[in-house]
Structure 1
Amino acid sequence: MHPIRVGLVGTGYAAKVRAESLQADARAQLVAVAGHTIDKARAFSETYAAQPAASWMELVNRAELDLLVIATINRDHGPIARAALQAGKHVVVEYPLALEWAEAEALVSLAHQQNKLLHVEHIELLSGIHQAVQTALAEIGTPLYVRYTNLNAQRPAPQKWTYSLDQFGFPFMGAVSRIHRLTNLFGRVATVTGQARFWHESAESDQYTSCLCTAQLRFANGLVAEVVYGKGEAIWRSARTLEIHAAEGGIFVDGEQGTLVQANQTRSLEMGSRRGLFAKDTAMVLDYLTTGAPLYVSLDASLYALKVADAIRRSAETGRTIELE
């Protein structure tokens, strides 16, 4: 059986680690790469012994490719995935699947119709941090309150697509992993209330220098979660923390350090490493395609997290609480 022949869209960090993972696995062959420009595609391809492509459309139309990996700006995920599925290719895409929930839902239906793999990367679920928290939940009883904070102070704000609403999307959709971590741990969401503020370079510019978004999620099981996401010049101190308060204890994560607190003990959690997660995701995709082994995340779970994120966006725009259940 020939190796799975892969086309890659993107030349940034995620594309680099994907290329390294594919190159290291005999079950796959990285055939061609498309970038933002042909020069970037050419330079990237030379490193990984692949062929440069003038555009992602060229990759979609190459009949010899079995799989397309999408690691480019968020805005283009949906259109590229649709074209690749329509061309009869399997698709792996970095989150989010699309910047509109309805578009993502349509792509899932298309993948089923075409009988092709559509896998959305959610490596946060593979991380040692997430798995340590998931394991420790059994020790603290019924979760009551969660506070999840992701703040990134950047001064000056970079002139990058990640600071563009058009290209990155509404922050909780572009960074939907923050929502997916919670829905994976705690289940269905009943209502959401969201707020968002952006500091733009100018009144005419889509590019912003800072954003700050908050959301309150009320889960179907009664848990209340507050989520904070912000980046840029208006943020003066970076923070990556998760607090889970429950009936019989709490879990507290600060960066890569975790602590479990109960009435009679306080102990550190073994958090493991965040290294090698793209390689693990890639290996599981190849396992699925070659042996049918199950993946670690379902399309339904990924789609549901995006639905919650979209509800936060609608709440922020309208000032209303949105009911999901």
Structure 2
Amino acid sequence: MQDKDKIKALRFAIIGCGRIAPKHAESIAALPEAELAAVCDIIPEKARAFADKYGGKPYTDYLTMLREADIDVVTVATPSDLHARIGIAAAQAGKHVMVEKPMAMTLKSADELITACKEAGVKLAVIHQNRFNKSVKTMRRALEEGRFGQLTHGQATIRWNRNDEYYAQAPWRGTKLRDGGVLMNQSIHNIDLLQWTFGPVESVFGYTATRLRKIEMEDVAGAVIKFKNGAIGLIEAASTIYPRNIEETLNVFGETGSVIIGGIAVNRIETWEFPGGEKEKEELFASQESDPPTVYGFGHREIIQDMIRAVKEGGTPAVPGEEGRKALEIILAIYQCQETGQPVIFPLRESAAD
């Protein structure tokens, strides 16, 4: 690895020192062109402990940090309802923005964040790290080469366990206004992969239910998507799986290709079928990644590295705000279906109360 002192490193700040923040800090530490300069959490002890472990100056107020700290990029890893507000403040302070999923709780807030970054001339990237999984990149190359032929259908499946103790960790977890349920908090990454693969959405119909967990929002959901190209997408999402996480799976089927990516975090190719592809399949199966230690997968380092490239070389991050908005729109449409009992024709029109 190159010595960080010999190159110009971008200075990062992490706002929110909770569950996902260590993945960002560890990824920043592993990149020679990145440096963790500041961290922020409203709980002083958490901010200090995080800074002691990973580096950076601790803050308890993000506005103070934005004014005082010498930083280039802000990573927003707070409760979901704060993502857009903090991202907008960072953009207005002239900082590039990386925001955890969901990028906002409403399309209006997502659009305000996108606009704020454009007006400030800063980059905006949404953390959908599974796009960088080796298995997903391999499938994506086959897709871009036209090897599937006409796409017919696909499925995004999350079968994970989030028990009552998980939701009891913080009062905002599982709430409508601050977090959402299994779709917004867990399945959104896989829904992003589904729409990235199959393209623009024509309509959505779905159901949600709260079966086992003591939360305001859904712990189980199912939905059907009709894509504009005629393909059908299926979504299955559950945080009720007994007794632990089983799988996150993406199925892609077409006229001349079938791919199933599974593992704990869409990290392993389980089916790879293309005409004359037997040798290729053997090589792919022989070079599989093992399951990651957590469901967060292996992609955080690469998505941060991609942001560094976008800042230093110009151009757009791999997952800009407009891309992050797409999975959010699908989920909000499913929530609207649950309320109205009717399919949603895209684009989604939010109610005045949203």
Who is 1:104 aligned against? Answer: 110
Deviation per residue, 1:91-114 (Å, 9 max, x gap): 111121101111101111111111
Pick aligned residue for 1:226 from 218, 223, 234 = 234
The amino acid of 1:150's aligned partner reads: I
Moved more, 7-16 or 234-243: 234-243
Moved more, 127-136 or 39-48: 127-136
Distance in 1 between residues matched to 2:240 and 2:198, nearest whole Å: 30
**1:154 offset after TM fit, Å?**
4.4
Unaligned runs of 5+ in 1: none
Quick one: structure 1 residues 307 and 51, their matched pair in 2 at CA, closer, same or farther if it must change by over 3 Å?
A: same
Aligned residues: 321
Distance in 2 between residues matched to 1:201 and 1:48, nearest whole Å: 34
**1:179 offset after TM fit, Å?**
1.8
The amino acid of 1:292's aligned partner reads: G
Distance in 1 between residues matched to 2:315 and 2:119, nearest whole Å: 21
Distance in 2 between residues matched to 1:71 and 1:113, nearest whole Å: 23
Quick one: structure 1 residues 265 and 276, their matched pair in 2 at CA, closer, same or farther if it must change by over 3 Å?
A: closer
Distance in 1 between residues matched to 2:136 and 2:244, nearest whole Å: 26
> Residue 85 of structure 2 aligns to a residue in which SS?
helix
Conserved? CA contact 1:38–1:54, under 8 Å: yes
Who is 1:160 aligned against? Answer: 169
Distance in 2 between residues matched to 1:77 and 1:304, nearest whole Å: 16
Moved more, 148-157 or 101-110: 148-157
TM-score by length of 1: 0.87
Conserved? CA contact 1:172–1:178, under 8 Å: no
Pick aligned residue for 1:183 from 183, 195, 208 = 195
Distance in 2 between residues matched to 1:59 and 1:291, nearest whole Å: 26
Superposed, 1:1-325 pairs within 5 Å as 3-62=9-68, 64-137=70-143, 138-155=146-163, 157-158=165-166, 159-161=168-170, 162-174=173-185, 175-199=187-211, 206=216, 211-232=219-240, 238-255=246-263, 256-261=268-273, 267=281, 269-270=284-285, 272-273=288-289, 276-292=298-314, 294-324=316-346
Higher strand fraction (1 or 2): 1
Moved more, 86-95 or 315-324: 86-95
> Residue 220 of structure 2 aligns to a residue in which SS?
strand
Moved more, 223-232 or 235-244: 235-244
Deviation per residue, 1:96-155 (Å, 9 max, x gap): 110111110111111111111121122111111211222344333212122221111345
Conserved? CA contact 1:151–1:235, under 8 Å: no
Quick one: structure 1 residues 52 and 143, their matched pair in 2 at CA, closer, same or farther if it must change by over 3 Å?
A: same
**1:50 offset after TM fit, Å?**
1.8
Quick one: structure 1 residues 272 and 108, their matched pair in 2 at CA, closer, same or farther if it must change by over 3 Å?
A: farther
**1:322 offset after TM fit, Å?**
0.5
Deviation per residue, 1:232-255 (Å, 9 max, x gap): 367887333333332234222332
Conserved? CA contact 2:223–2:234, under 8 Å: yes
> Residue 326 of structure 2 aligns to a residue in which SS?
helix
The amino acid of 1:85's aligned partner reads: A
Distance in 2 between residues matched to 1:154 and 1:23, nearest whole Å: 29
Distance in 2 between residues matched to 1:257 and 1:245, nearest whole Å: 14
TM-score by length of 2: 0.80
Quick one: structure 1 residues 4 and 163, their matched pair in 2 at CA, closer, same or farther if it must change by over 3 Å?
A: same
Deviation per residue, 1:72-107 (Å, 9 max, x gap): 221211111122122222211112110111110111
Compute the RMSD of aligned alpha carbons. Answer: 2.8
Deviation per residue, 1:170-217 (Å, 9 max, x gap): 543334222210121111110000111114766xx64x7x71011100
Deviation per residue, 1:245-278 (Å, 9 max, x gap): 3223422233224212368876454575466421
Unaligned runs of 5+ in 2: 1-6, 348-354
Distance in 2 between residues matched to 1:265 and 1:87, nearest whole Å: 51
Quick one: structure 1 residues 88 and 136, their matched pair in 2 at CA, closer, same or farther if it must change by over 3 Å?
A: closer
Conserved? CA contact 2:252–2:260, under 8 Å: yes
Distance in 1 between residues matched to 2:74 and 2:154, nearest whole Å: 37
Conserved? CA contact 2:81–2:179, under 8 Å: yes
**1:63 offset after TM fit, Å?**
5.5
**1:313 offset after TM fit, Å?**
1.8
The amino acid of 1:315's aligned partner reads: C
Moved more, 111-120 or 244-253: 244-253
